Chains A and B, each alone.
Chain A
Amino acid sequence: RKEVEQDPGPFNVPEGATVAFNCTYSNSASQSFFWYRQDCRKEPKLLMSVYSSGNEDGRFTAQLNRASQYISLLIRDSKLSDSATYLCVVSPLRYIFGTGTRLKVLA
């Protein structure tokens, strides 16, 4: 089993839609969780950290479920500019990246 697993997608959604991604992790000792965004042929950039109580940043909401060992990312009111690959990152001893979920927002 991979340490961090994501549905690769692609998720094709219309503008304005709400879309959610999940990510599961295998190491129960993991302490830090993040979502990164990677545009085509670009380097990954931090989107948001994921806190135990859940956190929100504008249209983006991240949740952590330690009991089931998954994190989620919810994007509301999708914009064309949200089209990218979203990488789940889990840190037990080092940063482990998932393979990413590709999102395409359609006009």
Chain B
Amino acid sequence: GAGVSQSPSNKVTEKGKDVELRCDPISGHTALYWYRQSLGQGLEFLIYFQGNSAPDKSGLPSDRFSAERTGGSVSTLTIQRTQQEDSAVYLCASSLLGTGWDTGELFFGEGSRLTVL
């Protein structure tokens, strides 16, 4: 497809289980971002990949969170030993060029809604 694709769109899991969320960015986009958004809240930055550079992981809330981007394309966000406070919508976005370039436009996927029971 032409846009950013995320899967699953909805995930319900039990506390303590691991989850993997997938993001397929727009083809050719070098930059990929993960954010999360809790109900009624703003977007919280998690991690940023730019080309072959080391990712900016400064937003990951704990060591239970990790992400990788294989081949400069698809990214997977993994949450280990999920907690109830991890419940949120996880949004992935890509842009043609990374931060520092005045492109401005982040293209977002529709998000993965995670509910931890």
Which A residues are closer than 8 A to B by beta carbons? 31-32, 34, 36, 42-46, 49, 87, 91, 93-100
Contacts and interface: CB of A to CB of B under 8 A. Distances in A.
A8 to B, nearest CB: 9
18 contacts: A31-B100, A43-B108, A43-B109, A44-B43, A44-B106, A46-B104, A46-B105, A49-B102, A87-B42, A93-B99, A94-B33, A94-B45, A95-B106, A97-B35, A97-B43, A98-B42, A99-B41, A100-B42
Given A31-B100, A95-B99, A96-B45, A43 B91 contact: yes
B22 to A, nearest CB: 16
Nearest to A98: B42
A100 B40 CA distance: 9
B86 interface: no
Contacts of A44: 43, 91, 106, 108
A91 B56 CA distance: 14
B48 interface: yes
Nearest to A44: B108
B110 interface: yes
Nearest to B101: A32
Interface in B38-77: 41-43, 45, 48, 56
Contacts, number: 46
A45 B104 contact: no
B111 A43 contact: yes
A95 B42 contact: no
A76 B114 CA distance: 38
A18 to B, nearest CB: 25
Contacts of A34: 104
B58 to A, nearest CB: 8
A94 B56 contact: yes
B104 A49 contact: yes
A87 to B, nearest CB: 7
B106 A46 contact: yes
Nearest to A46: B105
Contacts of A96: 45
Nearest to B95: A95
